[in-house]
Amino acid sequence: MAKEGLRYTLFSRRALLVAGLQGLAITILGGRLYYLSIVQGAKYRLRADENRISTRLLSPERGRILDRFGSAIADNRRDFQVYLIPEQTGKVSQTLAKISKMIKLQPHQIARVEEQASRQRKFIPVQITDGLNWQDFSRLNAEVADLPGVYPDEGMIRYYPHGQEFAHIVGYVAAPRAEDLDISKDPLLLLPGFKIGRQGLEKRFEDTLQGSAGRKRVEVNAVGREVRELPPRQEASEGTDLRVTLDSDLQKYVNKRLGEEAAGVVVIDITNGDVLALASTPSYDPNDFIGGMSRENWQSLLNDPRKPLLNKCTGGQFPPGSTVKMLVALAALEKGLIKPNTRFTCEGKHELGDHTFHCWQRKGHGAVDLKTAIARSCDVYFYHIAELLDIDDLAKSARRFGLGVKYDIGIDGERRGLVPDRGWKLATQGEKWQLGETLNVSIGQGAMLATPLQLAVMMARLASGNMVEPRLIFNEGKLDISKSVQFQSLGIAPQYMDFLHQAMAGVMRPQGTAYDVRRPKSAPQLAGKTGTAQVRRITMEEREKGVLKNEDIAWASRDHGVFVGYGPVVDSRYAVAVLMQHGGGGRAAAAVGRDILDFAIANQSGLQPKKQGSAALNSAATGGQYG
């Protein structure tokens, strides 16, 4: 009995200990539960909601790019698109194969979708294509029940209504690259179908045009798939419109007049510096880049010898040829080295040491004064000036009129050109400047290079006597498109400016190099200067036999044609620069420049919008306003 009592006592103690331990455990658990659910309840409810509710970005509508009159040159339009959710569709390649039977998908599109689907989370949609027509969109909607994970959608897409005509200015948008994501870290770039500026104004003003993302709250399941949207919803803020100085009608006329020539043309309003036209041909259609361009098409653009991807107006550097002779003449006049009536005799060539410098007129021009030398573009006359004029003074005159300067008008890729002098040669080649090099530069050859934009600025300054600065982007605030700008004077003596104006008007008159493109006396008179930039070396053997004509040699060996001009001569308003790459010479460029100036004057370009499809605009094929 004693043993049983002892056993009972021990059991009771153990049971009490276990019960105590259990009670303590329950008390601790209860306390912890109370702490988590009551004391820290709000905190953990918030965390649970954060895991259940996700914030998604809403893509903003991109700001438009408008011409000076408010006409859109880069716009947005409703678009039919189709997306794919990889986790819901099974094998992506099989789904794409089915879709390809209903709508046309290019191999590069299919490769892009497969690559994107493989590297991102499976529940995130991937855009298959956009720009669908109504028929294809309807067909997909009818078949979507048999295509798990595929859903057609309606959204907004960038659209360039004028196609090629503004491509080098506005550029284009495209899907972000991997390096864009690394640099930006902007979550907007991850949205399906989101595009960013890749070239031109689209790229340069990306922050202005992009706008701000909106936000929506959605309930998601355990794998992050959207279940339903929760209020409130914050709509995206559309981007800010960008307004440029271009006149769409003049820009379109210039493009039509150039056709498929490899050329660059810039038209500037002399009174305010507004760039009214900036056309580089041939061009490309920026709409082709939005959905992704095929490798074949891209290679064809890259391999085209006429360089359709290059903006020749700002990024093309060419010898300006004889168009710089006014600057050489002015430098010599201001230094007192010559007078307007100074005469030199041209026999078709000029000897300097053991080297012969030739005039374009093989038989020579005879005895000529400065005005005649400019009108008839006598090279030998300017060789004589070059022997008297220091290269640094010549370079100073060129820079004074806008050569060798970057204007940063808003388009990336602008080149500075080159105005050579002693310091440049010593720094780049470690050699002293030679007199023979000055002779070459005096006729716009040798190391001298310029862009069509710089040549247009040069002509605007020659026409006005003021330091005209080009402008492509309108400043903020109320626009007054007809208002003149008070530019600083270049400080040139009036008698010299009058003399140069008379000489440039003589270029368009009998015996002038542009007389072949003369116009009726009733037409507003123009002034200008032709230039022919030689791109191949002519041997003595060829000179003896007869220099080959441009039409008889390969395109890439033909001379560049250059023309700079302004009009009307009285109350001048428009300055133009025309560069025709391998165009065969200055006269061809002068014909184009004449027609463009005629159109601008007749239609008061930049001052009032024109009706689309007007007779004036359609006259490009017939050669301008005055026949």
- Would you place residue 555 in the very low, low, confident or very high pLDDT band (cuts 50, 70, 90)? low
User: Are 395 and 535 contained in the same domain?
Assistant: yes
Q: What is the pLDDT of residues 400-416, one digit of tens each?
A: 999 999 999 999 999 99
In a domain? residue 567: yes
**Residue 226: enclosing H or E segment and its boundaries?**
strand 226-234
Provide mean pLDDT across the span 111-120: 81
Q: Which of 220, 243, 266 is the last residue of a domain?
A: 243
Residue 539 has pLDDT above 70, yes or no: no
My answer on whether 465 and 602 are in the same domain is: yes
Q: Does residue 10 belong to any structural domain of this protein?
A: no
225 and 256 in a common domain: no
Q: Are residues 97 and 237 both part of a single domain?
A: yes
pLDDT tier at 553, thresholds 50, 70, 90? low
Kindly tell me if the per-residue pLDDT of 240 is higher than 50. yes
How high is the pLDDT of residue 42?
57
pLDDT at 77 exceeding the cut of 60: yes
* DSSP class per residue in 239-283: PPPEEBS--HHHHHHHHHHHTT--EEEEEEETTT-BEEEEEEES-
Q: 234 and 380 in one domain? A: no
DSSP H or E segment with residue 219: strand 214-220
Is residue 208 domain-shared with residue 139, that is, in the same domain? Answer: yes
Residue 174 within any structural domain of the chain: yes
Whether residue 575 contacts residue 459, with contact meaning beta carbons closer than 8 Å, is answered with: yes
183 with 235, same domain: the answer is: yes
174-188, 301-315, 410-424: range with lowest mean pLDDT: 174-188
Q: Is the pLDDT of residue 535 over 70?
A: no
Percentage, residues of the chain above pLDDT 70:
84
Please say whether the beta carbons of 313 and 414 come within 8 A. Answer: no
The answer to whether the CB of 331 falls within 8 A of the CB of 464 is no
Task: Please check whether residue 491 lies inside any domain of the structure.
Answer: yes
List all residues 6 or more positions away from 46 whose beta carbon is below 8 Å from its beta carbon. Answer: none
Name the residue type at position 403.
Answer: L
Mean pLDDT of 601-622: 67
- Whether 514 and 550 share a structural domain: yes
Is residue 204 in some structural domain? yes
Residue 617 lies in a domain: yes
List, as one string, the DSSP characters of 171-202.
--EEPPPHHHHHHH--GGGGSTT--EE-SHHH
Burial of 17 (0-12, 13-18, 19+ CB in 10 A): exposed
**Bridge-based pairing state of the strands 527-533 and 560-567:** antiparallel
The answer to the question of residue 532 being in a domain is: yes
Asked whether residue 491 carries a pLDDT value surpassing 80, the answer given is: yes
Q: What is the CATH number of the domain that holds 580?
A: 3.40.710.10
Tally of structural domains, the chain: 2
pLDDT(540) > 50:
yes
With a cut of 50, say whether residue 50 has pLDDT above it. Answer: no
Place of tokens 């002293």: 432
Amino acid at residue number 558: R
Domain with 357 in it:
248-622
The DSSP symbol for 164 reads G
Whether 189 is in a domain gets the answer yes
Residue 416, helix vs strand vs coil? coil
Q: Please tell me whether residues 549 and 581 are part of one structural domain.
A: yes
Q: Which of 243, 266, 281 is the last residue of a domain?
A: 243
Secondary structure, 3-state, 487-547: CCECCCCHHHHHHHHHHHHHCCCCCCCCHHHCCCCCCCCCEEEEEEECCCCCCHHHHHHCC
CATH assignment at residue 157: 3.90.1310.10
Q: What's the pLDDT score for residue 113?
A: 84
Q: Are residues 263 and 404 in the same domain?
A: yes
Same domain membership, residue 261 and residue 234: no
Residue 143: is its pLDDT beyond 60? yes
Residues forming the active site = 322
In this prediction, residue 621 carries a pLDDT of 46
pLDDT band of residue 137 (cuts 50, 70, 90) is confident
Domain's final residue, options 188, 217, 243 = 243
CA–CA gap between residue 85 and residue 121 (Å, rounded): 10
My answer on whether 374 and 432 are in the same domain is: yes
247 and 69 in contact (C-beta within 8 Å)? yes
